Amino acid sequence: MLEIAWFATRLFLKGKLLRDPVNFIKQVVFGTVIGLLLFLSLAQVQIPLGITVVVSSLLTGIIMPYLFKNFKMK
């Protein structure tokens, strides 16, 4: 299992894993910004921090498959 992860990491760092790495980075940044905005907006409400983290992580995790539905690898 670790060998597969190491092999994929080496291909990614060499630039041979993704067909369009710029689009991949753009989608990752977009998902991260959405997660951060969710977290910060929920943190402004007077609810415990643990609930804020769980809810924002859950919603960000739900959004990620939609962001990467057209994700292509070489």
Q: Provide the pLDDT for residue 67.
A: 84
- Residue 5 inside a domain? The answer is no
Q: Which structure tokens are listed for 21?
A: 């790495």
pLDDT in tens, 4-53: 989 888 988 888 888 888 888 899 999 999 999 999 999 999 899 999 99
Q: What's this model's pTM, rounded to 2 decimal places?
A: 0.74
Q: Please count the structural domains in the chain.
A: 1
* 14 within domain boundaries: no
pLDDT score for 51: 94
Domain extent for 47:
19-74
How does DSSP assign 44-60, residue by residue? HSSS-HHHHHHHHHHHH
Q: How far apart are CA 57 and CA 62, in angstroms?
A: 9
Predicted confidence at residue 32, as pLDDT, reads 94
Is 1 within a domain?
A: no
